[in-house]
Amino acid sequence: MSIELWASILAGAIVLATPLVIAGLGEGFVERAGRLNLGIEGMMILGAFVAVFVASFAGLVAGLVAAMLTGLVLAALMNLVVYRLGANEIVVGLAITMLGLGLSTYLYQLWVPAGQTNVSVPTAPKLDLGILTDIPLIGPALFGQSPLVYGALVLAIAAWAVFRFTRFGLQVRAVGADPTSAALRGVRPRQIGAQTLLIGGALAGLAGSVITLGSIGAFSPDITAGRGYIVLAIVIMGRMTPVGIAIGALLFGFLQSFSLLAQSTAIQLPSELYQTFPYAITLIVLVLTSRAALRRHLGRHVRSKPGRTQSLTPA
């Protein structure tokens, strides 16, 4: 395989990973707080639609903001129904996904009825850093992307900093690990949980808009193509940490990009093999990380075995 091909694969990987990173960071907050959002797919696709719709008359930035608000509203709905009214988290997640998929298609069909050319909006302009962008292999991948890609990077760093340096991050972890104790300590688990869900929703909406406004410039039904579910796998694979999630998303993006472009080489395998390749590898990585995590988990306990490293010093 040529260097051009690898450059293309890398650049494609980063584009494909961007929405996964953004939605994954959001879901990372949600799962860290002990909740689960199975509605990401619905939030993403409705965000993807609303982004194009709003951007078509109000511009790119308004489109992005509208998509975030869309995800936020769906997340607020989910919070109300699940955590206030006591509905089942999984059922509601599936319902939100159904709603998002249905509503986005419905509104799209009304907006662009048969016989009209699809509405397209300008996508976010790509960066061109001249010399840097011209570096072979990594130049286009690292320095020739749309600002949304760099936005995702900033978000990942921000999420990392929130967990590392803020009380909120600590409270999220505490609420997820042990809500009863956290509440006894004076943290409000419901409030923290709701906040993470809203963050998760807003980022899922944004992730959807990154697909339509970042690379396509138009909406078409089912454009998210199951990415909302992949996000769940990536979050677990990344052990719910921002860095892990970013790596997991990049890995999936790379696998997808690779299996798309490997088809254009001389290696001819059944196309279905290429299509399932990213999922199969993700499963394998999931197995490896689960196993490693298990070992690490046990290892940590063996090392700091109670009664050995610590000792009470009676006065």
Asked if 50 contacts 18 with a C-beta cutoff of 8 angstroms, the reply is: no
306, 308, 314, 315: which one binds ligand ATP (CB under 6 A): 306
Instruction: Tell me the HSE value of 44 on the side-chain side, using a 13 A CA sphere.
Output: 34
CA distances from 275 to 151, 255, 269, 278 (A): 28, 10, 11, 7
Q: How far is the CB of 178 from ligand ATP (least distance, A)?
A: 6
Which of 132, 138, 153, 286 binds other proteins (CB under 8 A)? It is 286
Which of 73, 76, 170, 243 contacts other proteins by CB under 8 A? 170
CB of 305 to ligand ATP, least distance (A): 10
Token pair 């990213």 in the structure block, residue: 278
For other proteins, the closer of residues 30 and 202 by Cβ is 30
Output the smallest distance, CB 156 to other proteins, in A.
19
**Binding flag, residue 187, other proteins (CB under 8 A):** yes
CB neighbour list of residue 181: distance below 8 Å, 6 or more residues apart: 174
DSSP of 199-211, one letter per residue? Answer: HHHHHHHHHHHII
Between 58 and 291, name the residue whose CB sits nearer to other proteins: 291
Which amino acid type is present at position 285? V
> How many angstroms separate the Cα of 112 from the Cα of each of 118, 119, 125, 249?
6, 7, 25, 33
- Beta carbon of residue 314, minimum distance to ligand ATP (angstroms, whole number): 16
166 makes contact, choosing from ligand ATP, other proteins, none, with CB < 5 to 8 Å by partner type, with other proteins
Q: How far is CA 132 from each of CA 3, 91, 149, rounded to the nearest angstrom?
A: 17, 48, 16
- Residue 208 class from Cβ within 10 Å (0-12 exposed, 13-18 middle, 19+ buried)? buried
Q: Which of residues 107-136 bind other proteins (CB under 8 A)?
A: 107, 109-110, 112-120, 122-123, 126
Give the residue with the Cβ less far from ligand ATP, 32 or 227.
32
CB nearer to other proteins: give 34 or 205. 34
The answer to whether 191 contacts other proteins (rule: CB under 8 A) is no
Total residues binding other proteins (CB under 8 A) = 132
Which residue from 62, 69, 73, 103 is in contact with other proteins, where contact means CB under 8 A?
103
Distance (Å, whole) CA 233 – CA 243: 15
- Which of the choices ligand ATP, other proteins, none does residue 133 contact, using the CB cut-off of 5 to 8 A by kind? none
User: Are the CB atoms for 215 and 123 separated by under 8 Å?
Assistant: yes
Give the footprint of ligand ATP on residues 176-195 (CB under 6 A).
178, 181
The residues that touch ligand ATP, with contacts defined as CB under 6 A, are 178, 181, 306
